[in-house]
Chain A
Amino acid sequence: MTQPSTTSSGVPAYGRFGGFGGRYVPEALIPALEQLEEVWRKAVVDPEFVGELERLQRTYTGRPSIITEVPRFAEHCGGARVILKREDLNHTGSHKINNVLGQALLTKRMGKTRVIAETGAGQHGVATATAAALLGLECVVYMGRKDTERQALNVARMRLLGATVVPVDNGSKTLKDAVNEAFRDWVANVATTHYVLGTVTGPHPFPEMVRDFHRVIGVEARQQVLDLVGRLPDAVLACVGGGSNAIGIFHRFIDDRSVRLIGFEAGGEGVASGRHAARFSAGQPGVLHGAFTYVMQDVDGQTVESHSVSAGLDYPSVGPEHAHLLESGRAEYRPVTDEEAMEAFSLLSRTEGILPAIESAHALAGAMKVGRELGPDAVLLVNLSGRGDKDVHTAAAWFGLIDEDGGTVLPATSEAADGATDDDGATGTGVQL
């Protein structure tokens, strides 16, 4: 067994997964990271903390989340059985709430009164704003200017929840720059503020701690699949931005050697185009945002800007444990293009009545490929990490349902009638009215 990170608390070297991870941050933050680790490790063995987190998961998040088998969608996946883990049904609409509730409770334990967060798609920002409202914490969310524009609905949601949203105009104006700004805030305000980092990267203990708060996804799903199918799935699939939903569903399966773990990165306009966020296809090991992991960078070690139709996957780095799972051979990672993801988005919507987040649609596109490879006897477990309500504007624009000003584009009546003759919309070519 070359995979050392198989227990919920064990990492092989201090704060490392294999050679990846570590703490590449200013000295000023080290005491805060040490305090966080100490408070966290005590909390997770304290029945009071564990009980409170479980109570919130049950009565607030809505855990356990269900699984849903999707046979009409599966017809386009080589006939394999496809089972979705419905993290999209969690309160706030994605898996992000799992981690945020844990960290918000830790914030209270540390006696801090203010939380900050970065967000790309807005899912983590909304979850953090929600937890802050619930627990009476001040909340500031940093979000790249470009993301505030393509996820305007989530900006409004965060503000309605009482959070302050700060648009970030530096660099690529996306998630990477929001993380930079959050670190700058944290260094200045660390005495009163906890940085609720939203994914499984950053300095130790974040990658391990955030993973453990999401581990419930795989713990539940493994039993649910066993109950439904009578055996383990052949493959577990998830999209990978920073990698929190993926590690959350993967981790409980790491010791199940028969189960393939497959992560799907944003291939954007294609890896060859250079406009993508396929860190494992086109990045190299390096340091970004406190962790040694895979980073998209140029020959001088400058971070290269990523691109994806999905704001939540538009990030040039990835959690260090994923880098380790790749190098140890336990997991595989593949790119999915914008086009493939949007096709899967359309397909799930029209065959199953479920609008997925565009992030999660990357995993669905992966299921279409993997299902065809493995054939009809295969069972695929896909993490549907978020719902697509926040993406309606992006998807509507992609499929030409709205014009540049956001106005509705409607066909003439006769065309609409023709369009309706399409059997179930599962042609994979997009949405027709």
Chain B
Amino acid sequence: MSVGPILEACRAEGRAALIGYLPVGFPSVEGSIEAMKVLVDNGVDIVEIGVPYSDPVMDGPVIQDAAVRALEAGVHLGDIFSATRAVSDAGAGALVMTYWNPVLRYGVDRFAGDLAAAGGAGLITPDLIPDEAGDWTAAADANDLDKVFLVAPSSTPERLTKVTAACRGFVYATAVMGVTGARASVGEAAADLVARTRAATDLPVCVGVGVSTGDQAAEVGRYADGVIVGSALVRCLTEAPTPQEGLEALGALARELAEGVRRGRA
């Protein structure tokens, strides 16, 4: 089921959606699923379920570290479907974020079929551009799945047109040139990228820009259709002395962020 209706409902409420990223398998498969439920219980609208990958070139140290530890703990690609089912059953949108090789190895058609069967909304593909996505586009369309491609500050008007035309669900605006990670200031580049992206498409535009506080979520939520938070959430888990304290910190941050997107346009 597409995340489109969730984003529409948020828009009707006069706010941006809150999209939270966590990798499956950290600290364990069960632990990560529990953490994703905590996100949903505390106001996250869409969970971005990360596939840990050995060579995550788009990710900064926090998410790299979690991915390495998840792989060392024995996470397998098949676990992504358990997490997807759990998030979907909890009532949130379940989008999987994955580098391309794990899907390729699993089989693109098979992956799409299994993802749809688990209640998944679709895929975010950080290292797959529409130009290379023929197989994925066909499989996604056959299984009624969202295709979320990325745009960046370096994207030209021609690329924005091409990439947004290939998206379904929303457009993922990576508003900082660089890897994932929390930033002290979210800056004006994000607003500019959202405006340029809106000139190319009517799809919702969600922004990943290193948001880590409710105030930042409010700021980005004023102009974006969705605020994407990753490293700050992951850090709640990786830096916690115990898993329980990690979940408490995670819930508190999710509540703060959810409150942020709700007052953004107030």
Give the interface of A toward B (CB within 8 A).
22-32, 170-171, 176-177, 180, 183-184, 187-191, 284, 286-290, 295, 297, 299-303
Chain B facing A: main interface SS: loop
Residues of B within 8 A of A (CB): 53-58, 60, 64, 68, 71, 76-77, 100-106, 126-129, 131-132, 149-156, 159, 163, 174, 177-179
Q: Whole-angstrom distance between the alpha carbons of A288 and B58 in the complex?
A: 13
The verdict on A176 contacting B55 (CB below 8 Å), with A286-B104, A287-B101, A301-B105 known, is yes
Q: Is the CB of B174 within 8 A of A28?
A: yes
Contact B127 A288 (CB under 8 A): no
- 24 A-B pairs within 8 Å (CB atoms) are namely A22-B132, A24-B100, A24-B127, A26-B126, A26-B127, A26-B152, A27-B151, A28-B154, A29-B154, A31-B155, A31-B156, A31-B159, A170-B68, A180-B56, A188-B177, A189-B177, A190-B177, A286-B104, A289-B57, A297-B101, A300-B105, A301-B104, A302-B102, A303-B54
Give B77 Cβ to nearest chain A Cβ, in Å: 4
On whether A300 and B77 interact (CB within 8 A), knowing A26-B150, A26-B152, A188-B179, the answer reads: yes
Partner of B149, one of A27, A284, A288, A300: A27
CB distance from B98 to the nearest CB of A (A): 9
Shortest CB–CB separation between residue A185 and chain B, in angstroms? 9
Contact (A301, B102) CB under 8 Å given A27-B159, A187-B179, A188-B178: yes
11 extra interface residue pairs, beta carbon distance < 8 Å, beyond A187-B179, A302-B53: A24-B129, A24-B132, A25-B127, A28-B177, A29-B154, A31-B154, A170-B68, A190-B154, A286-B101, A286-B105, A301-B104
Beta-carbon contact of A27 and B106 below 8 Å: no
A254–B127 alpha-carbon span in the complex (Å): 32
- Complex CA–CA separation, A300 to B78 (angstroms): 9
- Determine whether the beta carbon of A24 is less than 8 Å from that of B159: no
Q: Least Cβ distance of A307 to chain B in Å?
A: 15
Smallest beta-carbon distance B67→chain A, Å = 10
Minimum Cβ distance to chain A for residue B177 (Å)? 6
- For residue A295, which residues in chain B have a CB less than 8 angstroms away from its CB? 101
Q: Within 8 Å CB of B132, what residues of A?
A: 22-24
**B152 with A302: CB separation less than 8 A:** no
Known A-B contacts A27-B149, A188-B177, A301-B101; the reply to A289 vs B106 at CB < 8 A is no
CA distance A100 to B177 in the complex (A): 26
Within 8 Å CB of A184, what residues of B?
57-58, 60, 178-179
Q: Determine whether the beta carbon of A302 is less than 8 Å from that of B154.
A: no
Q: How far is the CB of A137 from chain B (nearest CB, A)?
A: 20
| Interchain CA distance A31-B132 in the complex, whole Å | 15
Contact A32 B154 (CB under 8 A): yes
Query: Distance (Å) between the CB of B192 and the closest chain A CB?
Result: 15
Chain B residues positioned under 8 Å from A24 (CB to CB): 100, 127-129, 132
Known contacts A190-B154, A295-B101: A27-B178 contact under CB 8 Å:
no
In the complex with contacts A180-B55, A284-B105, A27-B77 CB distance below 8 A: no
What distance in Å separates the Cβ of B59 from its nearest Cβ neighbour in chain A? 8
Among B71, B103, B178, the one with the most A-chain Cβ atoms within 10 Å of its Cβ is B178
State the CA gap A177–B150 with chains docked (Å).
24
In the bound complex, what is the Cα–Cα distance between A297 and B100 (angstroms)? Answer: 13
List the 10 closest pairs (A to B, CB-CB), nearest first: A301-B105, A28-B152, A188-B178, A301-B102, A183-B57, A301-B101, A303-B54, A300-B77, A302-B54, A287-B101
Most central of A171, A177, A187, A299 by chain B CB within 10 Å: A187
Q: Are B57 and A180 touching (Cβ within 8 A)?
A: yes
